[in-house]
Chain A
Amino acid sequence: MGDVTRSLTLDGSEQGFATTRTDALLGWARKYSLFAYPFVTACCGMEFMALTSPRFDLARFGAEAPRFSPRQSDLLWVVGTISQRQGPVLKRVYEQMMDPKYVMAFGTCASSGGFYDNYTTVPGIDKIIPTDVYIPGCPPRPEAVLDGLMLLQDKIARNERRPGVVKPRFDPVQDAHGLVQLRRSATDARDLLPELKEREANADREP
């Protein structure tokens, strides 16, 4: 018969069958029942309001319920610019939350300070608290925020703590075929110009 536990372990996992399944169960439960603490300061708050509206509907992700006490929430939405004056407040709210806790930097100002490169803005909340998902945009479209939320849910399910950034769905540089692409080396040039290839092949053949 052999060792039942060893033969049923998942890839990369050192624990046995029961523990890994528990982790997966906990991850599933956590990701679909996030209690949010909306730390809303600025314009991104308007898009946050739109997120909870029926069109974009945060409720279907299970992340709608706002808990206005950090003790009762596990997801900190940092929505909008954090000024230097607000920094200690944000840190305090973060420290009051209990593990496992996740932080979403909603908007460019929360991710990197935005275009407010001045004496009064914190250049990104990761200077103060660790962040899990960065959602760029000024303000980001609600669809981008939902992408960020789904990315966070993936991370929770896999128990992955490395930060992630939401990328645009359609990257015009990579995906568009009508656009001319930058040729970074002679190899690329050769691929694009068949005659050049032929000329080189002929040159090799000549003595």
Chain B
Amino acid sequence: MEPLDVELDEGELELPADPMHLNMGPSHPAMHGTVRIVLELSGETIVKADVQIGYLHRGFEKMCERGTWAQVFPYVDRLNYVSPMLNNVGYALAVEKLCGLSVPERCQWYRMALGELARISDHLTCDGAMAMELGAFTPFLWFVKAREMVWDILEEETGARLTHSFGRIGGMAKPPSQDFKATCVAALNKILELVEEGERMLLKNRIFIDRLENVGTISRADAVALGWSGPCLRATGVPYDIRKAHPYLKYDEVDFDVPVGTKGDTLDRFLVRLGEIRQSKRIIEQSLERMPDDGPVNCDAAGVVLPEKAGVYTTIEATIQHFKLIMEGAKVPAGEAYSYTEGGNGELGYYLVSDGSGTPYRVRIRPPCFQITGGLQKLIEGRMLSDIVPTFGSLNMIGGECDH
């Protein structure tokens, strides 16, 4: 062995080193959706990252071409499966745009209330899971408890906790139930209490803040060029919210704010979502106040809306109408339309092409988190391995939507 005090050149001590290739595989606890990130690491620092999606590609667009317009609703539910009601409403609005229909007022308020409940559930899941991955198990359980309350209301209304398939072209499947308003208001107060408890637990914790602050930062111009929208874009400081910029349903008649961040880092995205839960609560309370207690929920168009069952069993016209709508589908006029709403992750768009028959010719979903996940590579390159977890969690990539 050489003595330790021999003079050695810097270059002679260099050992040959290759970057390490690590595969954060499609089955990984920190991967919210199922995504594969192939990393080239130099120590803990990520030199190159390749984000590979498509592990949950379920052929949504191809399946839509094999049924009728109304048979798309169950598929649409499973796109953004943490806020299925928003997908339902978005698709129903798209088909109604192509048909030139507008739903009655009661239905508009109802859609808003259910949609905002779904948005609350989405943000609770995202923030809760993000906290859990950073080691905070308790706020995750509190947020899931709050989410259970939302799901209880939705179960009472639609019959299912998660995949409701409740929207219909021209209205909703059923009118609101008797206790909807009262249970909603009571539950919302409890949900807010739980969110506040979770915030108290997390936002005063030095370690939590350090792991989120200045991690995964993106500039406004980059985010817009990537096509980001929703909470991720608002965290960078761009106040673009479709509910304010291009209101649909009755969003221009309710009073709510849009939380906007400043730096575009993970902490901002986390806080923007928590802020949006409060705004959704305001929207729901106002919608419930203004929703009429009686009146039709479906519009009057015989070409798209199913008739009353009593009529179907007794009159021939209703039987034939029912038969034609189920077997052949609603005949949507030929043409194309692009309709967009504010989904849980941003601009949820549907581009529909109709050839005039009851089967869709093409249903294209514009998934908000597809664009957002496209920016992930830029966010993590140059950062450390453990920064991937909060960054990816804050983007809220929902596999069903991203891979459609």
Contacts and interface: CB of A to CB of B under 8 A. Distances in A.
Interface of A: 38-43, 46-47, 49-50, 52-55, 66, 68, 80-81, 83, 85-86, 89-90, 93, 115-116, 118-121, 138-139, 141
Q: Is the contact region of chain A dominated by helix, strand, or loop, or is it mixed?
A: loop
A169 to B, nearest CB: 17
A116 B144 contact: no
A40 B125 CA distance: 15
A38 B162 CA distance: 19
A59 to B, nearest CB: 11
Interface in B352-404: 399-400
B228 interface: no
Contact of B81 (A42, A89, A121): A42
24 contacts: A38-B29, A40-B27, A40-B34, A41-B55, A42-B400, A43-B78, A43-B162, A46-B81, A47-B162, A50-B161, A53-B144, A55-B145, A55-B148, A66-B29, A80-B56, A83-B54, A83-B55, A85-B55, A85-B57, A119-B62, A120-B58, A121-B59, A138-B163, A139-B162
Contacts of B147: 50
Interface string B59-94: 100110000000000110010011000000000000
A89 B25 CA distance: 9
A52 B113 CA distance: 28
B63 A118 contact: yes
A40 B29 CA distance: 9
A46 B125 CA distance: 9
A118 B56 contact: no
Contacts of B34: 40-42, 86
B400 A118 contact: no
A120 B162 contact: no
Given A46-B162, A53-B145, A68-B28, A83 B125 contact: no
B27 A93 contact: yes
Interface centre among B58, B62, B145 (most CB of A within 10 A): B58
Given A41-B55, A68-B29, A89-B25, 10 more contacts: A39-B27, A42-B399, A43-B78, A50-B151, A52-B144, A54-B145, A83-B55, A85-B55, A115-B75, A118-B58
Interface centre among B34, B55, B63, B400 (most CB of A within 10 A): B34
Contacts of B163: 43, 138-139
Nearest to A86: B55
A144 B25 CA distance: 30
Contacts of B185: none
Interface string B19-59: 00000011111000010000000000000000000111111
Nearest to B155: A141
Interface in B101-157: 125, 129, 141, 144-145, 147-148, 151
B145 A83 contact: no
Contacts of A38: 29
A89 B56 CA distance: 12
Nearest to A85: B55
A42 B148 contact: no
Contact of B26 (A46, A55, A89): A89
A53 B148 CA distance: 9
A68 B58 CA distance: 25
A71 B237 CA distance: 45
A58 to B, nearest CB: 12
Contact of B56 (A39, A50, A83, A115): A83
A68 B81 CA distance: 23
A165 B26 CA distance: 27
B56 A54 contact: no
A50 B144 contact: yes
Nearest to A116: B58
Give the 9 A-B residue pairs with the shortest CB-CB distance, closest first: A43-B81, A118-B59, A53-B144, A68-B29, A41-B34, A120-B59, A116-B58, A86-B55, A120-B57
